[in-house]
A and B are shown apart, each in its own frame.
Chain A
């Protein structure tokens, strides 16, 4: 993938398919060029055996093809920069607190690091496609924070108007763009 934000868009679909109601996408950048990406969902989770196998490119839950590349791409992208990758999961059958947490750490100063790219488009596409999920997006940088809480926006929109409406998505795009530009005046 040419941009980390595309990889994040792809990984987030796993949480959607896991029937998560809450999905948090967090990006944390420090002064030294390290970027931590973490996605936390309350979906149906996976058992230990599946967790062991998901970052293997020849394992997939899909039946249309036999190769799944989303998580292996993320893992490879992180490890190529000297960063790390981890995944934790608790299956729904084990009760409360189920869901999955994927964490990838990147050294953005490394020559093999791909740029983060257009996170605003990634967030807009996720909201357009899955307007009923409680997405929480937080991008924290040394210069400040960008934040979007879908549940908060939905409480303003009420039940009749979906978060996925084009006018709403356009507003969200401007809202995020504005937060980003205030970080880089």
Chain B
């Protein structure tokens, strides 16, 4: 049975961790398009998978997952943008929960862009 007391425990556990986070603009941002087009194309499970994978890989101190509206390329939804400090933005298109897990493991954690999922690869086809 989930109780509110458990939430108080999470609070105690998280308090210290939250204070340690960098909020100096040096974090990596993962942005998911959650407009009507994104949601209809399957953005909800993509977002959930990204949040889950970031937590699983213990990247929360340096990576944030945020939502935005329509990015303007509806035919490529679900769209995920990765913005790393000092690097060019990477746009992943036609995402799925499985692809999202791979992006977190190989790109966010491993530092290697998953080229086959990017908009460049999609347009070239």
Which label, helix, strand, loop or mixed, suits the secondary structure of the B interface?
helix
Q: B125: CB under 8 A from chain A?
A: no
Binary contact track A133-145/B, C-beta < 8 Å → 1, others 0: 0000000000000
The answer to whether B74 and A153 have CB atoms under 8 Å apart is no
Q: Which residues of B lie under 8 Å from residue A65 when comparing CB positions?
A: 70, 72, 74
In whole Å, how far is A114's beta carbon from the nearest beta carbon of chain B? 12
Interface size of A by CB at 8 A reads 37
Q: Does B108 reach chain A (CB closer than 8 Å)?
A: no
CA distance A161 to B14 in the complex (A): 7
CB atoms of A160 and B60 under 8 A apart: no
A64: shortest Cβ distance to chain B, in Å? 5
Considering the complex, which residues of chain A in the window 36-94 have a beta carbon less than 8 Å from any beta carbon of chain B?
Answer: 62, 64-65, 68-70, 73
Whether B99 sits at the interface, judged by CB under 8 Å, is no
- Which residues on B sit within 8 Å (CB–CB) of A169? 51
Chain B residues whose CB sits within 8 angstroms of the CB of A162 once the complex forms: 18
- Among B5-13, B76-84, B109-117, the stretch that binds chain A is B5-13
Q: Mark B9-43, 1 if CB is under 8 A from A, else 0.
A: 01101110011000000000000001110011000
Report A102-145 residues with CB < 8 Å from chain B CB. 118, 121-122, 124-125, 128-129
CA distance A158 to B1 in the complex (A): 22
Contact with A along B38-71 (1 / 0, CB 8 A): 0110001101100110110000100001110110
Q: How far, in Å, is B90 (CB) from chain A's closest CB?
A: 21
Whether A165 and B14, one on each chain, are in contact in the complex, defined by CB atoms closer than 8 angstroms, is yes
Residues in B with CB closer than 8 Å to A153 are 4, 7
Do B44 and A161 have beta carbons less than 8 Å apart? no
Residue on A nearest B68 in the bound complex, by CB? A129
The residue on B at minimum CB distance from A122 is: B44
Pairwise interchain contact A156-B8, C-beta atoms closer than 8 A: yes
Among residues 1 to 44 in chain A, which have CB atoms less than 8 Å away from a CB atom of chain B?
Answer: 1, 6, 9-10, 13, 17
Contacts of B87 in A (CB 8 A): none
A166 CB, min distance to chain B CBs, angstroms: 4
User: Which residues of the other chain, A, contact B4 by a CB distance below 8 angstroms?
Assistant: 153, 156
Judging by beta carbons under 8 Å apart, are A161 and B40 in contact? no
Q: Are B36 and A125 in contact (CB under 8 A)?
A: no
A-B interface, 6 closest residue pairs, ranked by CB to CB distance from nearest: A129-B67, A166-B55, A175-B2, A64-B72, A161-B14, A70-B36
Residues of B participating in the A interface, judged by any CB pair closer than 8 Å: 1-2, 4, 6-8, 10-11, 13-15, 18-19, 34-36, 39-40, 44-45, 47-48, 51-52, 54-55, 60, 65-67, 69-70, 72, 74
19 new A-B pairs (CB below 8 Å) besides A161-B10, A178-B2? Answer: A6-B39, A9-B34, A9-B44, A13-B34, A17-B69, A65-B70, A65-B74, A69-B36, A124-B48, A125-B47, A128-B65, A153-B4, A156-B7, A156-B11, A157-B10, A158-B15, A160-B18, A165-B18, A168-B10
